[in-house]
Amino acid sequence: MHLAIYIGMLHRAEQTLADSFHTVGAEHAAEADVPQTCLTLAAMSEEHVRLLSPIAARYGEQTAGEDLQEPARLHADGVAEGRTGALGLLRDLQDLYMPAALAQTTWTVVYHPAQALRDQELQKAAEIANDDASRQMAWLNTRLKAAAPRPSSSRRNPTRGIDDHRTP
């Protein structure tokens, strides 16, 4: 396994995620839970970047080169500029999901060589980051559901495929 490649991917994904959480939190300050939660989740990713520093010093961090053709394609751009309004929040949350999923799956990939190398520091970092990533993903999933558009007053009965105009 090319551990230096995956450490580079993690660094980029976690930094992108932290920056994106900050952007979304600032753009959607009017939402009750979004600014503070985004700050908390950004701090998690910033801590992951900090945890990676001694690991990158030990194994290296490869972000360019001939043998990076495939892993270089594995990245998520994150949210450089937030959108406004309810639909903007929904789209921003979807954009946050991509680097969050990339970071979580990459930490999972890195954990196994950490075990093989008996690198306690890398194992602990991967465990912490994976737990935090699960929290980040859980909030994103919950918030995506809350931000998703609701049908109009006419309800559709999915079991019969007809409009159901009765009151709930």
All domains of the chain in start order, with CATH: 3-147 (1.20.1260.10)
Which pLDDT band holds residue 85 (cuts at 50, 70, 90)?
A: confident
4 close to 60: Cβ distance less than 8 angstroms: yes
Beta strands, E only, 8-158: 155-157
164 phi/psi in degrees, rounded to 5: -120, 105
* Least confident piece of the model among 2-6, 28-32, 61-65, 85-89: 61-65
Average pLDDT of the residues of the chain: 84
Tell me the mean pLDDT in the region 97-107: 93
Task: For residues 15 and 150, give the distance between their C-alpha atoms in angstroms, rounded to a whole number.
Answer: 33
Which pLDDT band holds residue 156 (cuts at 50, 70, 90)?
A: low
Task: For residues 112 and 115, give the distance between their C-alpha atoms in angstroms, rounded to a whole number.
Answer: 5
Tell me the mean pLDDT in the region 61-75: 55
pLDDT at 69 over 50: no
pLDDT at residue number 108: 95
